[in-house]
């Protein structure tokens, strides 16, 4: 059964939020809600952002940083790579064209259905896996690299559980690189207008952002961590933090993306990229 069934849509095609609250939300509630949300939102999201994401391209963040320029994963040719939260899997297909042996994973069946369509239309076929990132159905030390471009980590209640799973499936010396919402975004309004850069909530308030439908059912959950929280989560599972990247806005890039915009991007960071490695 389609998990997005009966989820009402707003005029923009995204799931309609009947209410918004800041309250606790656990792992099961977060996963269930976000699976339904992304299943329902997939057509609207890809209609809005698909041309920017591309069919076989690796965009790390709305600032426009691409792996072809950043080389955060190094040489991927011949490497076994796991992408977590692949969406329609453009990053995985780009990695495949660069010579990697890729597995693309997502929680959302709706997103994976679009990924399968693009596999067929591009002729670049990557294996697709539906799973929760906190319970990866992969063997120990089977991956050389793992990556996640805004895929999953901002939406999970327990990032340590996901990071522990990533550490488990990585081979010694393997990299895990992930982009997430920059924690500095949390205190500001969700607006691309630089005039709205005013603090409206506490940076230190980790209470999740929760949207509900008209019947009060949870339909979307996003979790906040400070920069220190991310550092502690990474080192807490035994990964080595090699770099924290805060991408600057790409010169000439004009696309707005939610609260990201060229004007706002010139003033404050919107993305944090964690570059980590498994020792050994």
Q: What is the pLDDT of residues 53-77, one digit of tens each?
A: 999 999 999 999 999 999 999 999 9
Determine the Cα angle at 145 with ends 244 and 62, to 5°: 45
Q: Classify residue 42: in a domain, yes or no.
A: no
> Could you give the angle at which helices 27-53 and 109-122 cross, rounded to 10 degrees?
30
* Residue 2 pLDDT class (50, 70, 90 cuts): very low
Residue range 241-264: mean pLDDT, rounded:
96
CB contact set of 271 (below 8 Å; sequence gap of 6+): 60, 61, 62, 63, 65, 179, 180, 181, 182, 246, 247
What pLDDT digit, counting tens, does each position of 140-190 carry?
Answer: 999 999 999 999 899 999 999 999 999 999 999 999 999 999 999 999 999
Q: 0.85 exceeded by the pTM?
A: yes
Q: Classify residue 34: in a domain, yes or no.
A: no
Q: Classify residue 38: in a domain, yes or no.
A: no
The bridge status of strand 128-130 relative to strand 101-106 is: parallel
What percentage of the chain exceeds 90 in pLDDT? 94
Residue range 101-125: mean pLDDT, rounded:
98
* Residue 4 pLDDT class (50, 70, 90 cuts): low
Q: Classify residue 11: in a domain, yes or no.
A: no
Residue 14 · residue 45 · CB < 8 Å? yes
- Identify the pLDDT of residue 1: 39
The mean of the pLDDT values for the chain is: 96
CATH value at residue 259: 3.40.50.150
Residue 46 · residue 115 · CB < 8 Å? no
- Identify the pLDDT of residue 92: 98
- Identify the pLDDT of residue 163: 98
Residue 12 pLDDT exceeds 70:
yes
Q: Classify residue 82: in a domain, yes or no.
A: yes
What DSSP element (H or E) covers 122? helix 109-122
Residue range 1-28: mean pLDDT, rounded:
85
Q: Classify residue 238: in a domain, yes or no.
A: yes
Q: Classify residue 240: in a domain, yes or no.
A: yes
Residue range 246-266: mean pLDDT, rounded:
96
Residue range 254-274: mean pLDDT, rounded:
96
* Residue 215 pLDDT class (50, 70, 90 cuts): confident
C-alpha dihedral (75, 78, 84, 88), degrees to nearest 10: 100
Residue 5 pLDDT exceeds 90:
no
Write out the residue range of the structural domain in which residue 157 sits. Answer: 52-201+222-278
Q: Classify residue 89: in a domain, yes or no.
A: yes
Domain count, the chain: 1
Supply the DSSP symbol for 234: H
């Amino acid at each position: 059964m389609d998990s997005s069934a009966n989820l009402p849509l707003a005029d923009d095609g995204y799931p309609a939020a009947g209410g918004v609250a800041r309250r606790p939300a656990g792992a099961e509630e977060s996963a269930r809600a976000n699976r339904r949300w992304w299943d329902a939102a997939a057509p609207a999201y890809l209609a809005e952002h698909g041309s920017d994401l591309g069919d076989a391209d690796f965009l790390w963040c709305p600032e426009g940083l691409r792996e072809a320029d950043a080389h955060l994963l190094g040489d991927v040719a011949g490497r076994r790579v796991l992408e977590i939260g692949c969406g329609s899997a453009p990053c995985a297909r780009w990695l495949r064209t660069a010579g990697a042996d890729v597995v693309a994973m997502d929680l959302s069946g709706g997103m994976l259905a679009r990924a399968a369509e693009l596999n067929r239309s591009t002729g670049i076929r990557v294996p697709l896996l539906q799973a929760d990132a906190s319970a990866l159905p992969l063997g120990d030390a089977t991956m050389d690299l793992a990556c996640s471009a805004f895929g999953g980590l901002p939406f999970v209640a327990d990032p340590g559980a996901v990071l522990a799973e990533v550490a488990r499936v990585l081979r010694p010396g393997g990299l895990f690189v992930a982009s997430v919402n920059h924690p500095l975004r949390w205190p500001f309004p969700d607006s691309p207008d630089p005039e709205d850069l005013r603090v409206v909530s506490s940076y230190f308030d980790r209470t999740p952002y929760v949207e509900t439908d008209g019947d009060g059912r949870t339909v979307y959950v996003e979790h906040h961590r400070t920069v220190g929280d991310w550092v502690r989560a990474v080192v807490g599972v035994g990964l080595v933090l090699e770099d924290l990247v805060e991408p600057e806005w790409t010169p000439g890039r004009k696309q707005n993306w939610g609260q990201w915009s060229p004007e706002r991007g010139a003033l404050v960071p919107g993305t944090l990229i964690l570059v980590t490695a498994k020792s050994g």
